[in-house]
Amino acid sequence: MKKFNHVIVRRPCKAMVEGITSGLYPGKPDYELALKEHDAYIEALKQCDVDVTVLDADERYPDSCFVEDPALITRKCAIITNPGAESRNGEKDEIIGAVKKFFSDDQIEYIKAPGTLEGGDVMMVGDHFYVGRSARTNEEGIRQLTAILAKYDMTCSEVKLEEVLHLKTGVNYLEDNNMLVSGEFVTKPEFDKYNRVQIPEDEAYAANCIWVNDTVIVPEGYPAVLAAVQGLGYKTILVDTSEYRKLDGGLSCLSLRF
């Protein structure tokens, strides 16, 4: 099934070494290696039958390569978010230009203060959106998102997060009713209706795989997850994300797919 035609990414900047990190995956990113990994990420996406818009690095925002957070793009509208991390908040103004190449002004919506929301907290399943209430996404942000989606006949439900940074840190939908789940998402009742594929604890990072037009891009170094995804019948492409992992970033965080 072809669902996505476009992808937006932003090149990592040198300042990425100062990006936000929980320290869960220790070490400073190696910028040169991060660039090579980003090249491979773009190449993998191009193999999935999408065109890729590559935005220039923005040194003002160390985490700006994680374009998933300042915008949420749906089938019917684009939403510029209001990132809850202070050092990332200005990224929202820098993604608008790219979004405007694909959406007219009346299809672009905005999450406004005091609402905060980051795209990493939003998981799309058809026209329903699960949104994680996190340190980055607050109740008012979720209220605004719900109202925006309702305008376009789409729905939203809140998921309380206890352990992870963003919702999609631990759960990702692969289409065809298949969902990769780790940690706190293994038992959450709202996901009972999906074919939940449980990720072993020592491979939890790889819950963040991305489905792009029937190919699943999987982070390198997680053999159990790779086997599980292949077992579901998907074609897979491996991409090493070692330098982004040090900043708690995964495959989904690095692109907007629509």
Report the catalytic residues. Answer: 166, 253
Token reading at 17? 């070494």
Phi and psi dihedrals of 65, rounded to 5? -70, -15
- Binding part of the chain for ligand CIR, among 3-11, 61-69, 99-107, 216-224 by CB under 6 A, reads 61-69
Q: Per CB under 6 A, does 63 bind ligand CIR?
A: yes
Per-residue CA distances from 52 to 42, 80, 122, 158, 200 (Å) = 7, 19, 21, 31, 32
- Candidates 66, 130, 191, 258: give the one binding ligand CIR (CB under 6 A): 66
Tell me the C-alpha distance between 258 and 9, whole Å: 12
- Binding part of the chain for ligand CIR, among 51-59, 122-130, 143-151, 244-252 by CB under 6 A, reads 244-252
As measured in angstroms, the least distance from the Cβ of 104 to ligand CIR is 26
As measured in angstroms, the least distance from the Cβ of 35 to ligand CIR is 17
Site for ligand CIR in 8-37 (CB under 6 A): 19-20
Q: What is the DSSP string of 47-81?
A: TTT-EEEEEPP-TT-TTTT-TTTTEEE-SS-EEE-
CA dihedral 176, 191, 224, 233 (to 10 degrees): -10
Are the CB atoms for 128 and 155 separated by under 8 Å? yes
Q: Per CB under 6 A, does 253 bind ligand CIR?
A: yes
- Binding part of the chain for ligand CIR, among 27-35, 101-109, 150-158, 162-170 by CB under 6 A, reads 162-170
| Residue with smaller CB distance to ligand CIR, 136 or 235 | 136
| Residue with smaller CB distance to ligand CIR, 94 or 231 | 94
Tokens 């074919």 locate to 195
Neighbours of 158 (CB within 10 A): 18
Q: Per CB under 6 A, does 178 bind ligand CIR?
A: no
As measured in angstroms, the least distance from the Cβ of 250 to ligand CIR is 6
- Candidates 9, 248, 257, 258: give the one binding ligand CIR (CB under 6 A): 248
| Residue with smaller CB distance to ligand CIR, 20 or 108 | 20
Q: Per CB under 6 A, does 88 bind ligand CIR?
A: yes
Beta strand 215-219 with 235-239: parallel, antiparallel or unpaired?
A: parallel
CB neighbours of 224 closer than 8 A, spacing ≥ 6? 199, 200, 203
As measured in angstroms, the least distance from the Cβ of 136 to ligand CIR is 7
Tell me the C-alpha distance between 80 and 96, whole Å: 7
Q: Per CB under 6 A, does 166 bind ligand CIR?
A: yes
| Residue with smaller CB distance to ligand CIR, 49 or 163 | 163
What does the H/E/C string look like for 93-120? HHHHHHHHCCCCHHHEEECCCCCCECHH
Q: Per CB under 6 A, does 70 bind ligand CIR?
A: no
Which residues in this chain contact ligand CIR in the complex, by CB under 6 A? 19-20, 63, 66, 68-69, 85, 88, 120, 166, 168-169, 247-249, 253
